[in-house]
């Protein structure tokens, strides 16, 4: 099992998978976990540490109707 040395490595791995495999962030994280034999809960703990990654996943989940959309101010 190959764990990332730090959260920056995790984020970089996910970004690279998104580009190379043409996957969404959620799918890239699942792929990353499967490749390393890790539970998705481990990746969730890493996502929680990075506000940018967390925001990207939240936006993606809202777009895919996985979670309820957050209220936003009108422009």
Task: Please give the pLDDT value at position 43.
Answer: 93
Identify whether 2 is part of a domain. no
**Residue 37, pLDDT above cutoff 90:** yes
> How many domains are contained in the chain?
1
Identify whether 69 is part of a domain. no
Q: What is the Cα–Cα distance from 21 to 68, expressed in whole angstroms?
A: 27
Q: What is the Cα–Cα distance from 31 to 23, expressed in whole angstroms?
A: 9
Residue 66 burial (CB count, 10 A): 11
Which carries the bigger pLDDT value, residue 6 or residue 35? 35
**Residue 36, pLDDT above cutoff 70:** yes
Could you give the C-alpha distances from 64 to 5, 33, 36, in angstroms and in order?
31, 21, 26
What integer is the mean pLDDT of 56-64?
92
Identify whether 1 is part of a domain. no
Q: Which residues constitute the domain of residue 38?
A: 7-63
1 falls in which pLDDT band (50, 70, 90)?
Answer: low
Task: Please give the pLDDT value at position 44.
Answer: 93
């Amino acid at each position: 099992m190959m764990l990332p040395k730090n959260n920056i490595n995790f984020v970089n791995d996910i970004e690279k998978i998104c580009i190379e495999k043409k996957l969404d962030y959620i799918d890239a994280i699942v792929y990353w976990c499967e490749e390393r034999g890790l539970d998705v809960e481990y990746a969730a703990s890493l996502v929680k540490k990075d506000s940018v990654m967390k925001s990207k996943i939240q936006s993606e989940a809202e777009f895919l109707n996985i979670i309820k959309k957050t209220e936003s101010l009108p422009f």
